[in-house]
Structure 1
Amino acid sequence: MIDNHILAPIFVQLFTAIAQLMFWRKTVTQRFLSVGGSIIGLLVAIRLFTRVQADGILTMNAANWDAPFGIVFVADAFSATLVLLTSIAGVAVSLFSSVSLSRQRMLYGYFPIFHFLIMGLQGAFLTGDIFNLYVFFEVIIISSFVLMTLGGRKAQLEGAVKYMAMNILASMFFLTGIGILYGITGTLNMADLALKIQLVQNKTLVGITSCFFIIGFGIKSAVFPLYYWLPSSYHTPPSAVAATFGGLLTKVGIYALIRVLSLIFIPDDFTRTLLMGIAVMTIITGAFGALIKTNVRRLFSYLIVCHIGFMVGGIAMFTKIALMGTVFYLIHDIMVKTNMFLIAGLIRQLRGTLDMGKLGGLYRDYPKISLMIAIVLFSLVGIPPLSGFWPKIFLFQGAFEMHHYFFAAALIIGSFITLYVIAKMWSQVFWKNPPQEDLLDDRFAPMRPYRKLLMVLPILILGVVTLYVGLNAEAIINITDKISSQLMDNSEYIEAVLGDKTN
């Protein structure tokens, strides 16, 4: 079904960014515009999600050029769900940014760049053109690089160099793959590619081309052995920026990997074995990296790597049950990881440090806030019946059905280490007695009540969404079942885009 409102989530972010550029020196106005634009973007995303659930896959042909000759945008169950989750995270981060960032950083253009970043994410999820996917990836990279360097501190610049170097490398692999793909098929429309790639006689060249995409998206997703840039850079920018990065940027790489493998390069035995090996090593290295970290945000960064391995393992199995686990975990991970970095920002504002050795006593001083954070931490660990528990059931089921016992073992190891490091963090940050007062930074205390409320509110919003995902798992399972069915059988996607041309 054709629906021109598919572009609304992209345009809302674009116009919000442009409006803020008109008020470059007026940071208070920028804050209101950012929160207002994010809320409008959320309402538009809800409308798109409900339309897709009711009417099926929606398409929009830019300039009324029919596919595959023109640029097409597609909203299926998968992309609409991720647009909605991105919008929810965007509202939370926008609220948190309005009170956590200094005016100096806002004057550097934080809010316009933030909305350009969200625009790039929404565009990547909605485009049906492989080259446009690359274009939106570049929008994301440029925006994220600016956000990471905002303020110009030495640690930020060092992390940004590593981040940018690896992402440029990823873009080179991605663009090279696109060039080869266009050369052997003569099209860039992903639905059309799904049909024409089957006609290519040189299957070796097709396999090599798929490796370019796997490497490119693997770097962006921070998989083994290409993950080191993430824990080296995600702890350096402000917490609001790190929340956007941790919750969304690696997940767009996972989305692109799923989309390309389900439409264009259907995984063969070699690809599945390769991805499974990468998944197992990503889980192990991420988990053991988190074991030795004493800084809260560095610990969360390694947990991102570890849990990316969970999702890559589901992709590697490429069965319906495994993809249900991957998609469910993707939904859970976007909400929880965004929230974890916001929580880290709140802890820093309350105590002035993120070194667990210098923290303590948060439960004594802030019991209600601590209990709210505990629910998020339990969800991250996967305590039943919270959101992190349900996708692991599907991943374990898929692993045993496909006899991937090493992956099942890695899942167990990753889950137990996650439990251990989070329990250790809770003990040191919340339960133990606080250190001597002279170890704390008085610049961060006390906080004004309204400021504390506006920092806690986005954490509460994401916490409620996470709680809903866990306690209302049946509804989420129905959504993931629909998504995995469309991924396993791409005929509905192809017919929605190409119509009669599929014959």
Structure 2
Amino acid sequence: MIDNHILAPVFIHLLTAIVQLIAWRKTVTQRFLSIGGTFLGLLIAIRLFTKVYNEGILTMNASNWDAPFGIVFVADTLSTTLVLLTSIAGFAVSIFSATGLSRQRMRYGYFPIFHFLLMGLNGAFLTGDIFNLYVWFEVIIISSFVLMTLGGRKAQLEGGVKYMAMNILASTFFLTGIGILYGITGTLNMADLALKIQLVQNQTLVGITSCFFIIGFGIKSAVFPLYFWLPSSYHTPPSAVAATFGGLLTKVGIYAMYRVFSLIFVPDEFTKDLLMGMAILTILTGAFGALIKTNIRRLFSYLIVCHIGFMIGGLAMFNKAALMGAVFYLIHDIMVKTNLFLIAGVIRQLGGTMDMTKLGGIYKEYPKISLLMALVLFSLVGIPPLSGFWPKIYLFQAAFEYNQYFYVAALIIGSFFTLYVIAKMWSEVFWKDPSSDEVIEDKFKPLPLFRKILLILPICILCSVTLFIGLNAEAVIQVTERIVNQMLDTRPYIEAVLGK
């Protein structure tokens, strides 16, 4: 079904950013515009998700050029689910940014760039053209680089250089793969590619081309051995920026892998083995890296890497149970990882540092806030019946069914190490008494009530969504099952786009 409202999640953030550029120096106006824009974006995302869920896949042909000759946008259950999750995370981060970010950074253009980033994310999820997926990736990279270096501190610039260098490399592999695809098929429309790639006689070349996409998306997703840029850069920007990066940016790479390797390159045995090896090593390196970190955001960065391996492993097995576990974990991870970095920002505001060895006593001083944070941490670990528990059931089921015992071992190690580092963090930051001889130079004064509410409200919003995912797992499983069915049977997608 054709529906021109598919682009509304993109245009709402574009218009918000443009209006904010007009109010460049008016930081108060920009805050209200940002919160209002993300709230409208959330309402639009809810409407789009509901319509797709009830009516089926929607398409929109730009300038009324029929596919595959024109640019097409496609809203299926996977893309609209990610648009909805992005809108929830964006709304929460926007509220947090209103008071958790310095006014100086706001004057540098934080809010317009933030909305350009959300625009790029929604565009990447909704495009049905693989070259335009690359274009949206570039919008995301440019916006995120500006956000990462906003303020110009040495650590930010160093992290930004690493981030940009690796993403340029990823884009090079991605664009090279697109060029080869166009050369052997003569099309860039993903639905059309799904049909024509099967007719290519030289399937060895097709397999080599798929490796370019594995490398390109693997860098963006931070999988082993291409992950090192993430822990070196995600701890440098402000917590509001790190929350957007931690929750959403790596997930765009995961989404692209899911889309390309279910629609265009159906994984063969070599691809499955390659992805499984990368998944296992990603889990282990992320888990071991988190063990030795005392900086909270560095610890969370390594946990991002670790849990990316969970999702890649599900794609590697490429069966219904594995994909359901991977997609469910993707939904859970976006909410929890965004919230983790917001929690790190609140801890920084309350304690004045990110170093766990210098913190302590937060539970004694702020018991209610601490219990709220505990719910998020329990969800991350996967304590039943919270959101992190359910997808692991599907992943374990699929791994045992296909005798992937190394992956089972990696899942157990990754889950156990996550529990260990989170328990250690809780003990260091919340339970232990603060060291009396430890002087924190940038210790903040007690926060005003209104500012404290604006810092905690986003955490409450995301925690509520996380609790809904865990306590209403049946509803999430129904959505996940529909997504996986569309990944395994791509005929409805192709018919919606091409009409055949």
Bucket of the pairwise TM-score, normalised by the shorter protein: over 0.9
User: Normalising by the residue count of structure 2, what TM-score does the alignment of the two structures yield?
Assistant: 0.99
Residue in structure 1 matched with residue 52 of structure 2 by the alignment: 52
Partners of 2:56 and 2:403 in 1: CA distance: 34
Aligned-residue CA RMSD (Å): 0.7
What residue identity is the alignment partner of 1:357? Answer: T
Q: Is residue 87 of structure 2 the alignment partner of residue 94 of structure 1?
A: no
Residue 3 and residue 291 in structure 1: after superposition, are their counterparts in 2 closer, same or farther (change >3 A)? same
Residue in structure 2 matched with residue 144 of structure 1 by the alignment: 144
Is residue 348–residue 354 contact of structure 1 (8 Å, CA) maintained in 2? yes
Is residue 360–residue 430 contact of structure 2 (8 Å, CA) maintained in 1? yes
1:272 shift after superposition? 0.1
What residue identity is the alignment partner of 2:180? Answer: I
1:435 shift after superposition? 1.7
Residue in structure 2 matched with residue 40 of structure 1 by the alignment: 40
SS at match of 2:223: coil
Partners of 2:259 and 2:445 in 1: CA distance: 47
Q: Is residue 112 of structure 2 the alignment partner of residue 112 of structure 1?
A: yes
Residue in structure 2 matched with residue 61 of structure 1 by the alignment: 61
* Long gaps (5+) in structure 2: none
Is residue 486–residue 492 contact of structure 1 (8 Å, CA) maintained in 2? yes
Is residue 358–residue 438 contact of structure 2 (8 Å, CA) maintained in 1? no
SS at match of 2:59: strand
1:278-293 → structure 2 map (5 Å cutoff)? 278-293=278-293
Is residue 129–residue 189 contact of structure 1 (8 Å, CA) maintained in 2? yes
Partners of 1:256 and 1:95 in 2: CA distance: 28
Is residue 244–residue 338 contact of structure 1 (8 Å, CA) maintained in 2? yes
1:227 shift after superposition? 0.2
Partners of 1:357 and 1:442 in 2: CA distance: 15
What residue identity is the alignment partner of 1:495? Answer: E
Is residue 353–residue 443 contact of structure 2 (8 Å, CA) maintained in 1? no
Q: Deviations over 1:431-481 (max 9, x none)?
A: 000122752346512111100110000000000000000000000000000
1:448-487 → structure 2 map (5 Å cutoff)? 448-487=448-487
Q: Deviations over 1:244-300 (max 9, x none)?
A: 000000000000000000010000000000000000000000000000000000000
What residue identity is the alignment partner of 1:424? Answer: K
Is residue 353–residue 442 contact of structure 2 (8 Å, CA) maintained in 1? no
Is residue 351–residue 441 contact of structure 1 (8 Å, CA) maintained in 2? no
Partners of 1:485 and 1:104 in 2: CA distance: 48
Partners of 2:165 and 2:435 in 1: CA distance: 39
Is residue 353–residue 441 contact of structure 1 (8 Å, CA) maintained in 2? no
SS at match of 1:439: coil
* Sequence identity percentage: 79
SS at match of 1:385: coil
Partners of 2:74 and 2:436 in 1: CA distance: 57
Partners of 1:460 and 1:498 in 2: CA distance: 43
Q: Deviations over 1:411-432 (max 9, x none)?
A: 0000000000000000000000
Q: Deviations over 1:60-116 (max 9, x none)?
A: 011111100100000000000000000000000000001011111001100000000
Residue in structure 2 matched with residue 246 of structure 1 by the alignment: 246
Q: Is residue 307 of structure 2 the alignment partner of residue 314 of structure 1?
A: no
Is residue 311–residue 329 contact of structure 1 (8 Å, CA) maintained in 2? yes
Residue in structure 1 matched with residue 77 of structure 2 by the alignment: 77
Is residue 351–residue 443 contact of structure 2 (8 Å, CA) maintained in 1? no
Moved over 6 A (4+): none
Residue in structure 2 matched with residue 335 of structure 1 by the alignment: 335
Residue in structure 1 matched with residue 198 of structure 2 by the alignment: 198
* Long gaps (5+) in structure 1: none
SS at match of 2:73: strand
SS at match of 1:440: coil
Partners of 1:246 and 1:125 in 2: CA distance: 17
1:384 shift after superposition? 0.1
1:384-463 → structure 2 map (5 Å cutoff)? 384-436=384-436, 439-441=439-441, 443-463=443-463
User: Normalising by the residue count of structure 1, what TM-score does the alignment of the two structures yield?
Assistant: 0.99
Residue in structure 2 matched with residue 495 of structure 1 by the alignment: 495
